[in-house]
Amino acid sequence: MTELHQALAARVAEWREAGYRHDRFPAIAEVLGHAFEDDDRHQLRYLRAAQFRALETYWHLRLVEGTPHVAELYRRCFDRTTERLTALGLDAHDLRDLATDFGYDGLLERIRTDDQLARRHRLDALRETLALGYPS
């Protein structure tokens, strides 16, 4: 099973391989490139590898993805509804039935509005995330 962090890491790796290209903000390639001591990009100058990966991911989400809401980010990273549901941890049989009957967006709406459903499946954290009116 692929999880969001894995799918996102693959997208960031593609962006890295493309030289951090961005039409509107071309300076990002220079900024991220400055983090390395050498042209081969093996030795980081100031940050540890995990810190740099977090920075890359942040800028990818902001610039390339356009700071999407988490529900939209899952939609972009997982084309197939079944993969998306599994990545979200929504693979219980009755949740899949709801997705079949009401669609992916219908299921997310039920999670946002149905206290008992969220409680029964321990989806409180997902519910709070989906309820945010802004990207998080």
Helices (H) and strands (E) in the chain, counts: 8, 0
pLDDT for the residue 65: 96
**Which DSSP category does 90 fall into?**
-
Q: How confident is the model at residue 1 (pLDDT cuts 50, 70, 90)?
A: low
Dist. CA 81–CA 79, nearest whole Å? 6
What are the DSSP calls for 77-125, one per residue?
A: H--SHHHHHHHTT--SHHHHHHHHHHHHHHHHHHHHH-HHHHHHTT-HH
Predicted TM-score (pTM) of the model is: 0.84
74-118 pLDDT tens trace: 999 999 999 999 999 998 999 999 999 999 999 999 999 999 999
Backbone φ and ψ of 44, nearest 5°: -75, 145
Length, in residues, of the chain: 136
Does the pLDDT value for residue 43 go beyond 90? no
Angle, CA of 82, 88 and 91, to the nearest 5°: 55
